Chains A and B, each alone.
Chain A
């Protein structure tokens, strides 16, 4: 093994949780416990958000109004997106960060364990508050997750509660981001230089900075909404000299970096999975680091590509168009490097690798449609159509979510000490991949043909594609029950996993036994990168 962790402090091995039972989780400060909490929470929210998606797809199975009234339909699109973004995918990656970052950088725990507890425990309350808005007079916000005024100001009694839930979710992720930065910068084993850090750690370091930069801006924006509604200000109220378009600028100043906050940790996970199953070092590690930083920087100056149709002057359209297209370059570098990592590798196709390869293909489809929409004249057609729905679901589901699922299969043996059921894992992969495409690919066609998003009814000629989409969505949703079963089975038992789990993968996390002991790296390990020359 490259890294020496000879002194695993056998004498300390009996150190387990201080508390037992429910208290272990309520008062959790151990990074592994908190990581588990985040991951379980995310999995639960995947089904809550998924249920809402299925209500949407059930309604869209046929034209006309079948099951829900239009206002409730729009509450579903709003809540589905908010829950999936803030309640599912971001907590999932925070869970990975908690579990893996300390183990990857040879740190004993997160730097601020009590803050860590707080970051997590805000989430269930915030999510409950958000979901409870559905049961308030007037229902949940129905404006879409973008919360544009003046529409969002027509929300009933739930309005301040929804805004407060968003504040809480934002505070939680800012605290998590701060903790991650302090951990990476201060607790890294001294023998690991910044550039030697594994890609997942790099991705999260950059993501955490992005979070601290843009999350507070969203908090400011929604606070202004609150003030317009209750304190008579006119930030977005034209009658008082304000401008609703300003909200769009504020929202997307947060919103575009946010989509990279979601995808960068997935990039990080993929950068571990592909080398492990190609039995080769990651091609161009440093180039990957620079590309990630470059993506993060560019993501802060492209926000108005979401607003081409508000009536921007030509110069603005040109700037945002070219800046957006520029992002495709560092993204292309990453795709190229993953592919080059596989080139002439000794590939095997275990479940994590299957998800990683599917990620590579399907995320790229989403990237291509992104570049299409970046072109102003074309975007006038695509904007607010199902084409966009197809675009962002390709980058979010087979993109970000597949990254998370790949990571889950990849590290499950390290977490539980057991191998998961490979046969079921593969079945889960094929069902998921087939259904995800069945769900979202037809949406490109109906979008191009003019079907608008966020409308519960549609013209009859779109029926067939919508039926395919709905069947795919139900198939996808039920396939995820298999994921739950595979995880459950793996926690309960299975073949014993070795410390390395896979075929000699690189990284400090593989030098500790499986399951990882409650306390790891209480003494900083000596890190010697295996592929020194390429770093």
Chain B
């Protein structure tokens, strides 16, 4: 076993296996973009692109009404007041709608907020197009400032038949706080 060729064979296999282990470590990190791309292509997970959708105007479909519900949530200890202007809307696919969400900074400091959207059911993510949204950029609030933030959206007429109710939810985070802890 101490003869040279055997030792060389051992180290060759050793190097390959260490390479495999390192490769799998890298693969673990590669899973992050894979996951994002996968969710993006398939629309699984209900995650949105944080970009305005470009929508060509379409003829609204008359005989279909979709209920869109709005949910605003905060995590524990989040220093905000945050709620939608209306709890839900009845919308016709193809037509543009406007609504707002209200947020108020409850602290005596300046806060930067970021809303993270999500939709249920997740399959609807590609058919819910936001042409304008306060979630596209971070929102700066001075101490105790409160304001309405705009949202403009279209529900794509291609939305699968079996879906007649969408829930759009936002969680509002203080980003300068996230960076702190």
Assuming the A-B contacts A186-B9, A238-B173, A240-B175, are A178 and B28 also in contact, with contact meaning beta carbons closer than 8 angstroms in the complex?
no
**Nearest-Cβ distance from residue B160 to partner chain A, whole angstroms:** 12
A219 pairs with B25, CB closer than 8 A: yes
Q: How far is the CA of A109 from the CA of B32 in the complex (A)?
A: 41
The 6 listed contacts between A and B (C-beta, < 8 Å) are A186-B10, A238-B173, A239-B114, A243-B47, A246-B32, A311-B122
A111 pairs with B25, CB closer than 8 A: no
Q: Which residues of B contact A312 (CB under 8 A)?
A: 44
Q: Which residues of A contact B14 (CB under 8 A)?
A: 112, 178, 182
B47 pairs with A216, CB closer than 8 A: no
A181 pairs with B13, CB closer than 8 A: yes
Contacts A181-B17, A316-B44 aside, 19 further interface pairs with beta carbons under 8 A come to A178-B14, A178-B18, A182-B17, A186-B10, A212-B24, A213-B20, A215-B21, A216-B24, A219-B28, A220-B27, A220-B31, A224-B32, A237-B178, A239-B173, A240-B175, A243-B35, A246-B32, A311-B45, A311-B120
Residues of A within 8 A of B (CB): 108-109, 111-112, 174, 177-178, 181-182, 185-187, 212-221, 224, 232, 234-235, 237-241, 243, 245-246, 249-250, 253, 311-313, 316
Is residue B6 contacting chain A, with contact meaning CB distance below 8 A?
yes
Q: Which residues of B contact A181 (CB under 8 A)?
A: 13, 17
Chain A residues touching B, majority SS: helix
- Chain B interface: which size bin? 35 or more
Q: How far is the CA of A218 from the CA of B21 in the complex (A)?
A: 11
A239 pairs with B175, CB closer than 8 A: yes
**Nearest-Cβ distance from residue A105 to partner chain B, whole angstroms:** 13
From A240, which residue of chain B is reached at the shortest CB distance?
B178
Q: Which residues of B contact A108 (CB under 8 A)?
A: 1
The 3 closest A-B pairs by CB, nearest first: A220-B28, A239-B173, A216-B25
Q: Which residues of B contact A216 (CB under 8 A)?
A: 21-25, 27-28
Q: How far is the CA of A277 from the CA of B72 in the complex (A)?
A: 66
Assuming the A-B contacts A178-B17, A311-B122, are A217 and B24 also in contact, with contact meaning beta carbons closer than 8 angstroms in the complex?
yes
Q: How far is the CA of A212 from the CA of B18 in the complex (A)?
A: 8
Against A, the Cβ 8 Å flags (1 = close, 0 = not) of B35-53 are 1000000101111001000
Is residue B87 contacting chain A, with contact meaning CB distance below 8 A?
no
Q: How far is the CA of A414 from the CA of B35 in the complex (A)?
A: 50
Is residue B179 contacting chain A, with contact meaning CB distance below 8 A?
yes
From A115, which residue of chain B is reached at the shortest CB distance?
B14
The contact of B31 among A185, A186, A234, A253, by CB within 8 Å, is A253
